[in-house]
């Protein structure tokens, strides 16, 4: 199967060998203590350089930003050094890599990082869990409920903006081609965007214009530090889990897109739901996004290569992200091209956590 997916692409000066993007996937393999990226992670990412570009797993910009156990950070010298192992391996094997910058906001627990969560408001995310590893005999993650967050004061907001800026600089120092600001999936920036999680009365709450303010200020700070060509933003207008159902979100997202277009970032990454009965993104929304945003548009969310190619040929997106397809098939593009059978997940227990290669770096390549 030879499709548009296999054509090269110039992403605002960054040359990509194809339109396949390896989507960000939390795997919880960072070395402890210190949430430090390691050689095993370098092997994992290096195996998957058949993608034109890789977006890393979500990476916390501070200890406060952490919501799940064993996720990597980008705020200490040791973490920067660890990420260099990964960027060097990916570049050596001919791909590009962006680091996804993450602050979970209210989606956390003091049992994860020793700190009370923070968020736009003190509203808890109902029916939302995070995980720790507390010595279960099979090594599984243990899911625990999130705790009530502290409403962020102006100093907290200022600090978070500064942490995003520093994290972006650290990412470039670690050798990344750029960063992706995580504004999706019910985490901190998304919490500010939505009227049900953000009930503030100051300039960061209330109107749609106020609710996009923190995204705008974070993006400005990152762009001023590393440049528009190295900055992307991820959004999830149609995903409402983690108690994030907001009837105003589509209008708010489009207002945010106009602001991001004005700032001049390199891409917008649409995170689309990837479960079987997930809502489909209306074609009208895709067209409006294309008409509003002039740079690269990425779509990720359980797409077949055929569905991806259709979106590319209709010029509704420029790159398509694949998650579990790359998790289980490090040579996924080649398997698509040759119409070969795909590897399946070895064991769901290996998706999050684990200290060895099983279910992480042992998925087989095509036999030559």
- Positions marked catalytic: 187
**Joined tokens for residue 296:** 């690269």
Q: DSSP secondary-structure letter at 123?
A: -
H-type alpha helices, the chain? 39-47, 77-92, 110-113, 154-173, 188-193, 208-211, 213-226, 249-263, 283-292, 305-313, 324-328, 332-338
Place of tokens 């996804």: 100
CA atoms of 219 and 189, how far apart (whole Å):
11
Q: What is the bridge-based pairing of β-strands 20-22 and 118-119?
A: unpaired
Cα–Cα distance for residue pair 263/189, rounded to 1 Å = 17
Q: Which of 267, 275, 205, 203 is nearest to 235 (CA)?
A: 267
Distance CA 340, CA 356 (A): 28
What is the total residue count of the chain? 368
Token pair 């625990």 is at which residue? 144
Helix-, strand-, coil-residue percentages of the chain, each rounded to 5: 35, 15, 50
Closest CA to 231 of 216, 209, 249: 216
Q: How many CB atoms lie within 10 A of CB 252?
A: 23
CB-count exposure of residue 364 (10 Å: 0-12, 13-18, 19+) = exposed
> Which tokens is 266 given?
């390199």
Pair of tokens at residue 237 = 């207008």
Other beta carbons within 10 angstroms of residue 25's beta carbon come to 16
Rounded CA-CA distance 43/74 in Å is 19
């Amino acid at each position: 199967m030879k499709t548009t997916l296999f054509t090269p692409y110039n992403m605002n000066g960054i040359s990509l060998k194809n339109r396949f993007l390896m989507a960000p996937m939390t795997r919880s393999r960072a070395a402890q203590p210190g949430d430090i990226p390691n050689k095993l992670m370098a092997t994992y990412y290096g195996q998957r350089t058949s993608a034109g570009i890789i977006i890393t797993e979500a990476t916390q910009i501070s200890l406060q930003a952490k919501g799940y156990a064993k996720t990597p950070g980008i705020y200490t010298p040791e973490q920067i050094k660890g990420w260099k192992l990964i960027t060097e391996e990916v570049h050596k094997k001919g791909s590009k890599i962006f680091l996804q910058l993450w602050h979970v906001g209210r989606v956390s627990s003091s049992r994860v990082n020793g700190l009370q969560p923070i968020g736009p408001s003190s509203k808890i995310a109902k029916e939302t869990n995070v995980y720790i590893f507390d010595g279960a005999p099979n090594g599984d993650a243990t899911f625990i409920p999130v705790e009530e967050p502290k409403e962020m004061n102006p100093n907290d907001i200022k600090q978070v903006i500064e942490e995003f800026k520093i994290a972006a600089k650290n990412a470039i120092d670690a050798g990344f081609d750029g960063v992706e600001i995580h504004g999706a999936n019910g985490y901190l920036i998304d919490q500010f965007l939505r009227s049900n999680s953000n009930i503030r009365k100051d300039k960061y709450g209330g109107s749609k214009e106020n609710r996009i303010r923190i995204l705008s200020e974070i993006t400005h700070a990152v762009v001023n530090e590393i440049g528009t060509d190295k900055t992307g933003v991820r959004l999830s207008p149609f995903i409402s889990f983690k108690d994030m159902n907001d009837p105003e979100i589509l209008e708010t997202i489009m207002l945010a897109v106009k602001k991001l277009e004005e700032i001049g970032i390199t891409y917008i990454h649409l995170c689309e739901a990837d479960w079987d009965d997930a809502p489909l993104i209306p074609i009208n929304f895709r067209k409006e996004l294309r008409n509003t945003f002039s740079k690269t548009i990425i779509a990720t969310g359980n797409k077949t290569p055929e569905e991806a190619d259709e979106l590319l040929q209709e010029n509704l997106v420029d790159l398509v992200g694949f998650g579990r397809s790359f998790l289980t098939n490090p040579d996924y593009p080649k398997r698509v091209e040759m119409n070969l059978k795909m590897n399946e997940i070895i064991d769901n227990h290996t998706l999050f956590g684990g200290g060895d290669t099983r279910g992480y770096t042992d998925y087989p390549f095509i036999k030559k």
